[in-house]
Amino acid sequence: SQTIHQWPATLVQPVGSPLSLECTVEGTSNPNLYWYRQAAGRGLQLLFYSVGIGQISSEVPQNLSASRPQDRQFILSSKKLLLSDSGFYLCAWRQHGYTFGSGTRLTVV
C-alpha cells in the first residue's frame, strides 16, 4: 500500500534561518507530489507541485523553493525564513484524491 512520510512534525525557527522539509512516498512510482501551506484557521494554499524528477512548478511567488532529487522524494526549502512563512505545511501525493502527509507545523520567531 502507498504511504507518505513527512518530517519533522513541529519546527520552531528564527527569522533568517534556513529551512528544509522532506517528504517521501512509498508504494508507488512516478507520483505527482505537492506542497501545500495552511495558515491557522484557513484553507489550503498550493505552493509547488512536481510530476517527475527535477520537474517543479511554482504556484505562488515567495520565499520558498522545492526540489525533487528522487522519484519519491520532495523537498521544501528556504534560504532565509520570514515571519510570514509560519504555518502548517503539508506534503501530498495525488492519485485520484490526495493523500496528505502528517504535516509540519512551522513557527518562525
Partner 1 sequence: GENVEQHPSTLSVQEGDSAVIKCTYSDSASNYFPWYKQELGKRPQLIIDIRSNVGEKKDQRIAVTLNKTAKHFSLHITETQPEDSAVYFCAFHTGGFKTIFGAGTRLFVKA
Residues forming the site for partner 1 (CB under 8 A): 32, 42-44, 46, 49, 51, 57, 59, 90, 94, 96-103
CB atoms within 10 A of CB 37: 22
* Rounded-to-integer distance, Cα 92 and Cα 49, Å: 9
Q: How far is the CB of 6 from partner 1 (least distance, A)?
A: 9
CB of 79 to partner 1, least distance (A): 26
Pairing label, strands 98-100, 87-94: antiparallel
Run of H or E including 20: strand 19-26
Alpha-carbon distance values, 59 to 26, 69, 83 (Å) = 25, 19, 20
Q: Between 41 and 69, name the residue whose CB sits nearer to partner 1.
A: 41
Identify which of residues 10 and 77 has a Cβ nearer to partner 1 in the complex: 10
Q: Which is nearer to partner 1, 55 or 84 (CB)?
A: 55
Contact between residue 74 and residue 35 where contact means Cβ atoms under 8 Å apart: yes
CB closer to partner 1, 14 vs 96: 96
- Taking the complex as a whole, the smallest distance from the CB of residue 16 to partner 1 amounts, in Å, to 27
